[in-house]
């Protein structure tokens, strides 16, 4: 039976900021969702709140104005993605030394398979303590992590969630069912708000009541997810570690500081976003065939759709034109565009075949040169003249940081 470990940094971005600046320790702080310049914007969200802020009711993904309303003394900091990715790399480096296999689950979470290296649960406990000590030495005492050890990913994550901050919870195989029964359904990775609400309508508000519902009933209501729910209620999960799993889609969405009201503004920001998506695609050496584009209006209603294309897409202009063909027929500028999102899917790890057209071939060689320039001088080394005046701030959250693309 495998021995898996889940390591989760506590209040990650906020802890890193408190480590860097000791005057912030013990204070209610929050790190905004975007980089420098928008930390206190009314349209930013809380990417991470410190333990002190969480105790006052500030939650992750809460808008910064709402957080400030609940906790007026809250210090909102702009995120520093380069700092966070450096700390994440230290976590990965330490864990790689001890794990048979590693899956980076998010910017501050990893799953480790330690079956061979730990040999048994006693060995896994010692390993967890070693990793924690090394993390403290490498990242500082303010950066703490909770660790869960269990026979599968589901229970390992539940275990690490169960004691925060700086917890170490070991769930032996014979204790899995009893341990799972003590956890609330919302803590299960795979039970989101919608599933939780749907389960409530079936009378399942806890693990005990979920166990009382038959597998057939769950499958009838949730299809294949129903079978997973039935297993999860008993702490059963055989999901393997996703090591180097290829991306299924690459996308970028952005909430603007003020609503966009003209066709020109929407187009140039769509093009800037598409260039970001193209940059990530070139970084991963992939081309895509499906484009999804959507806008969110000022009143929070949404409009969008997706299209499958025969020709592979990889450059920003091509992606923007494809997205534009989806949005243009129905977009209503008068309602004010608050957010634009572009995603390319149906990805293939392949180079674009040589084109018959000279103009397209020229564009491909220009893109190659621009890519080289970006690698040497950074992500903002070039910009299309059309997108002049757009400024997409770097995201704090997520684990494919924008600055890593040019590296």
Q: Write out the residues near another protein by the rule CB under 8 A.
A: 16, 19-24, 36, 75, 77, 82-83, 86-87, 139-140, 374-378, 381, 403, 406-407
Find the shortest distance in angstroms from Cβ 188 to another protein: 34
Compare residues 30 and 241 and give the one whose CB is closer to another protein. 30
Residue 114 CB neighbours (<10 A): 24
Find the shortest distance in angstroms from Cβ 373 to another protein: 9
Residues 6+ apart with CB under 8 A from 181: 207, 208, 211
Question: Is 174 labeled as catalytic in the residue annotation?
Answer: no
Asked if residue 250 lies in contact with residue 266, where contact means CB atoms within 8 angstroms, the answer is no
- The DSSP secondary structure of 97-141, one letter per residue, reads HH-SEEEEEETTEEEEE-HHHH-SHHHHHHHHHHHHHHHHHHH-T
Find the shortest distance in angstroms from Cβ 39 to another protein: 9
| 279-295 as b/e: b if 16+ CB within 10 A | bbbbbeebbbbbbbbbb
Residue whose C-alpha is closest to residue 343's, from 248, 263, 258, 264 = 248
Question: How far, CA to CA in Å, does 276 sit from each of 79, 295, 300, 364, 403?
Answer: 19, 17, 24, 17, 11
Among 17, 109, 161, 394, which one carries the catalytic annotation? Answer: 109
Find the shortest distance in angstroms from Cβ 406 to another protein: 6
Find the shortest distance in angstroms from Cβ 217 to another protein: 51
Q: Any idea what the Cα angle at residue 405 is, between residues 400 and 407, rounded to 5°? A: 120
Find the shortest distance in angstroms from Cβ 359 to another protein: 29
**What is the largest distance, in Å, between two alpha-carbon atoms of the chain?**
67
Q: Which residue has the tokens 């004691």?
A: 163
Compare residues 75 and 128 and give the one whose CB is closer to another protein. 75
Question: Which pairing describes strands 168-170 and 145-150: parallel, antiparallel, or unpaired?
Answer: parallel
Residues 6+ apart with CB under 8 A from 336: 259, 260, 261, 297, 298
Tell me the C-alpha distance between 185 and 193, whole Å: 10
Dig out the tokens for 336 from the structure. Answer: 């004010």
Compare residues 24 and 171 and give the one whose CB is closer to another protein. 24
Compare residues 184 and 378 and give the one whose CB is closer to another protein. 378
Compare residues 176 and 405 and give the one whose CB is closer to another protein. 405
Q: Which residues are catalytic?
A: 109
């Amino acid at each position: 039976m495998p021995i898996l470990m889940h390591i989760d940094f506590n209040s990650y971005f906020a802890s890193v900021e408190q480590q860097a600046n000791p005057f912030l320790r013990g204070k209610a702080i929050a790190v905004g969702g975007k980089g420098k310049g928008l930390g206190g914007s009314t349209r930013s969200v809380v990417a991470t709140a410190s333990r002190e802020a969480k105790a006052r009711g500030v939650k992750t993904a809460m808008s910064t104005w709402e957080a400030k309303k609940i906790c007026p003394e809250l210090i909102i900091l702009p995120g520093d993605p380069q700092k966070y990715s450096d700390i994440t790399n230290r976590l990965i480096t330490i864990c790689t030394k001890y794990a048979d296999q590693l899956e980076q689950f998010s910017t501050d979470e990893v799953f480790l398979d330690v079956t061979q290296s730990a040999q048994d649960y006693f060995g896994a406990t010692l390993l967890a303590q070693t990793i924690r000590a090394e993390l403290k030495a490498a990242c500082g005492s303010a950066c703490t992590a909770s660790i869960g050890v269990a026979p599968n990913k589901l229970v390992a994550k539940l275990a690490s969630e169960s004691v925060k901050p700086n917890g170490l919870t070991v769930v032996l195989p014979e204790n899995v069912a009893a341990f799972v029964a003590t956890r609330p359904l919302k803590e299960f990775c795979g039970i989101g708000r919608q599933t939780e609400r749907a389960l409530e309508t079936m009378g399942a508000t806890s693990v005990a009541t979920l166990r009382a519902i038959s597998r057939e009933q769950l499958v009838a209501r949730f299809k294949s997810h129903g079978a997973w729910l039935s297993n999860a209620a008993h702490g059963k999960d055989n999901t393997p570690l996703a090591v180097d799993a290829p991306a299924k889609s690459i996308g970028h969405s952005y909430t603007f500081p003020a609503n966009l009201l003209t066709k020109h503004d929407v187009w140039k920001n769509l093009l800037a976003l598409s260039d970001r998506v193209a940059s990530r695609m070139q970084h991963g050496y992939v081309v895509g065939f499906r484009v999804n584009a959507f806008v969110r209006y000022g009143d929070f209603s949404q409009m969008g759709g997706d299209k499958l294309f025969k020709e592979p897409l990889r450059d920003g202009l091509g992606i923007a034109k494809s997205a534009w063909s989806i949005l243009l027929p129905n977009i209503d500028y008068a309602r004010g565009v608050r957010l634009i999102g572009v995603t390319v899917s149906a990805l293939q790890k392949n180079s674009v075949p040589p084109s018959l057209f000279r103009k397209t071939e020229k564009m491909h060689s220009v893109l190659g040169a621009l890519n080289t320039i970006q690698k040497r001088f950074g992500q903002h080394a070039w910009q299309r003249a059309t997108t002049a005046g757009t400024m997409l701030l770097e995201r704090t959250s997520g684990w494919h940081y924008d600055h890593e693309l040019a590296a």
